[in-house]
Amino acid sequence: MIVSHRHRFIFAAVPKTGTHAVRQALREHLDGEDIEQVGLFVDKRFPWKDLAAIRHGHLSLRQVRPYLGEAAFSGYFKFAFVRNPFDRFVSYCAFMLRGGEVFQQRPREVMRHFLFEEPPEHHILFQPQASLLVDEDGETLLTDQVGHVEDMQGSYDAICARIGIPSRALDRVNGSKHGDYRQYYDDALIDGVAARYAQDLDLFGYTFEGSR
């Protein structure tokens, strides 16, 4: 997550949505008053002890809200990027088994393991995207704008225009190795991902085939 007091924005970094590429681009516009929490590639912590202890940068908007105060939280432009949950789940599985050939050789076995046999319920990368972006009611989005990984550059350009900073071409950072997500699925896996990430599909307008 990045909180820029200079430009009055909050970037909620949803895992597996190109967040490190966005962070790199946004850092070019930050100054000493701005704060960031991240634990991969760069080690930075928020100034609040409770949040700093979490040790990763994928904090929810609900978590940071009381530390910023209602006036700043309401007045700052809040945004995030989201991704088709079917694609994101494949990326998650490939990422978790990076450095070997297991996912490439037995992708459906790996997907079934994470989805049905031993789902890592508390792993931040596995949790629904909406869980970082909704209010306490669990339904209302706190974001002012949501970019889509499927149009990463176009979304980033539009967000920069809203913030009032120059855009630039995003780099590819920390990508996982896999093909088109559709090739990995069977009916059971489609149903399983659809059930687990139903809120993401509904809130962000995705289907197995793409966007609605």
pLDDT at 172: 84
Question: How many domains, in total, are found in the chain?
Answer: 1
The residue ranges of the chain whose pLDDT is under 50 are: none
pLDDT at 175: 65
pLDDT at 99: 84
> Is the pTM of the predicted complex or chain greater than 0.85?
yes
pLDDT at 174: 64
pLDDT at 51: 98
pLDDT at 114: 98
CATH number for the domain that contains residue 43? 3.40.50
Quote the tokens at residue 95: 């990422």
pLDDT at 41: 84
The HSE-up count of residue 212 (CA atoms within 13 Å, CB side) is 8
Which domain, by its residues, includes 138? 2-211
**Nearest C-alpha neighbor of 145 from the set 61, 89, 86:** 61
Quote the tokens at residue 78: 């809040």
The secondary structure of 149-168 as a DSSP string is GGGHHHHHHHHHHHHT----
> Virtual CA dihedral for 28, 149, 181, 91, nearest 10 degrees?
40
